[in-house]
Structure 1
């Protein structure tokens, strides 16, 4: 099954709606003035967000970073018709001075070391005063129960469909035993969302960059803990508040 089948073309209508809604909500975190600069989609997958950017703000310069070769090729096929969009697979090819960085559906898959690696690169390429928009799933509290029961119905027996772990996350304690997998020779990742805690990521972001505004999706007017998705939005200061914090 392809990435598109698992996201944009999921057989469940609610999940399809949520996936498309999260793209719109991510772009709503910035204004037209910011969209006139360089935008980086960090971990851009098959390029859907970059394509929506082009439809909303035609001609915007966008660089999609996607280290997984198969996904990067899918992004190139999707974005080939947009001359101001490029796709790169290595961090070293990311240009500095980004006005906006989007990073959606990424950090929930990253172990601690890979999280620090990503934050280091984001810090390197995002200019002072630039906007960082991070979208992640809410996997603790009431959303964990609803998502967990849906997963249990779909694939009982899987790690993220275990009723004990689902209940643990529902009570606000994200499971800590997620199994890591390899994505290429030097990258580990978590394929399961269950076990991710957006509150911990927020703390790590604020240690580096200062205050991160937290909003929910798809229902911004209700508390984040009643939403399926959370957006962490911040503006990079001239100086980093406390410096990078690395996990040993």
Structure 2
């Protein structure tokens, strides 16, 4: 199934609204500026790349994803100057003024996750910014999500009532997250968004601002995603 079919093109109107709201929030938390050099790490179907070019045509954008969705070809046809690459070595040297990493880091754990965080910080210009969005999979939001997934036939593989409960109470250490041979984890189960600022702090970055989506309320309790904007520590 194409990535876009699971997100902005999902057959369920609530999921479509949630994912589209995430992009709207991302552009408000960190909008592009004239002539920015931008990296979209984990670009998927290239939807964000297209939105960035629509909002600011002068930006130079590279979208990276080893599992690049075919829908990215449509973005490339509309904006021939954008680059999409499947290999990290093909991204080219930074620094980038802005780095976007939306709904990607939750699919990794341990050293592979730290490796990506380190790479993102190394690719960012001294005065650049990094925007990360990850799903909220703990607390009341997690409970509602998992019940919704079950009701709509979109539950994550391996979902059990114990996992639903452990996610609700934030006991993520009790949920095994075994990666595939490539280090990729398909499920969000057991992911705790609170680890992300800790990992970036190890690389000398701090949270400059943050926001939630899709509800316009400053809490993770009833929202689906959290967005962090990082900058280098002074």
Q: TM-score, normalised by structure 2?
A: 0.90
1:38-187 matched pairs, under 5 angstroms:
38-68=37-67, 71=68, 73-94=70-91, 95-155=93-153, 159=157, 161-174=159-172, 175-182=174-181, 187=182
SS of match in other structure, 1:161: coil
Aligned residues: 231
Deviates more, 1:5-14 or 1:202-211: 202-211
| Deviation for aligned residue 1:178 | 2.3
> Could you tell me how far apart the structure 2 residues matched to 1:25 and 1:209 are?
25
1:217 matched to 2:213? The reply is yes
Distance apart, 1:237 and its partner CA:
4.1
Distance 1:148 1:55 in 2: 34
Which residue matches 2:193? 198
Task: Name the residue aligned to 1:245.
Answer: none
Residues 95, 125 of structure 2: 8 Å contact kept: yes
Alpha-carbon separation, structure 1, partners of 2:122 and 2:25: 25
In 1: Cα distance, 2:187 partner to 2:105 partner: 12
Determine if contact 1:128/1:237 at 8 Å carries over to the other structure.
no
What is aligned with 1:244? Answer: none
CA–CA distance in 2 between the matches of 1:197 and 1:211?
18
Residues 213, 224 of structure 2: 8 Å contact kept: yes
Deviations 1:162-190 (A, max 9, x none): 111111111122243123224xxxx2111
Check if 1:11 corresponds to 2:18.
no
TM-score by length of 1: 0.85
**For 2:127 and 2:154, how far apart are their aligned partners in 1?**
46
More deviation, 139-148/215-224: 215-224
Does the CA-based 8 Å contact 1:72-1:87 persist in structure 2?
Answer: no
Given that 2:98 and 2:124 are in contact with CA atoms closer than 8 Å, whether structure 1 keeps it comes out as yes
Please report the RMSD computed on the Cα atoms of aligned residues, expressed in angstroms.
2.0
